Amino acid sequence: MSSLIVGGDSQIARKLIEIFGCEEYLSTSRNNPNKIFFDLKNPGKLNLPKKIRNAVICIDATTFNNCESNFLETINSNVINLLTLIEFFFKNKIRVLFLSTSAVFSNNNKLSEESIPNPNNEYSIIKRIVEIGINNLAKKNNADFIILRLSKVISAKTEPVKSWLNLNCTEILNIHKNIYIYPLSLKYVANVINKILKSNTKGIFHLCNNSSITYYDLFNFLSNNNFINKDSKVSLISVEKQKYSNKLIGTRLLYELDIDFQSIDDFYQDLKDEFKEQDT
Give the tens place of pLDDT for each residue, 40-61.
Answer: 877 777 888 888 999 999 875 4
Cα–Cα separations (whole angstroms), residue 191 to 114, 205, 261: 24, 14, 12
Predicted local distance difference test score (pLDDT) of residue 175:
84
What is the CATH superfamily name and number for domain 2-154+183-210+246-267?
A: NAD(P)-binding Rossmann-like Domain (3.40.50.720)
23-37 tens-digit pLDDT: 899 999 888 888 888
User: What's the pLDDT score for residue 280?
Assistant: 61
Name the residue ranges covered by the structural domains of the chain.
2-154+183-210+246-267
| Type of residue numbered 181 | I
Structural contact between residues 67 and 74, judged by C-beta atoms closer than 8 angstroms: yes
Residues 6+ apart with CB under 8 A from 155: 11, 161, 185, 186, 271, 274
Give 2's contacts (C-beta < 8 A, 6+ positions apart): 23, 24, 25, 26, 49, 51, 52, 53
Which residues of the chain register pLDDT less than 70? 60-69, 169-171, 230, 237-242, 279-280
pLDDT for residue 173: 77
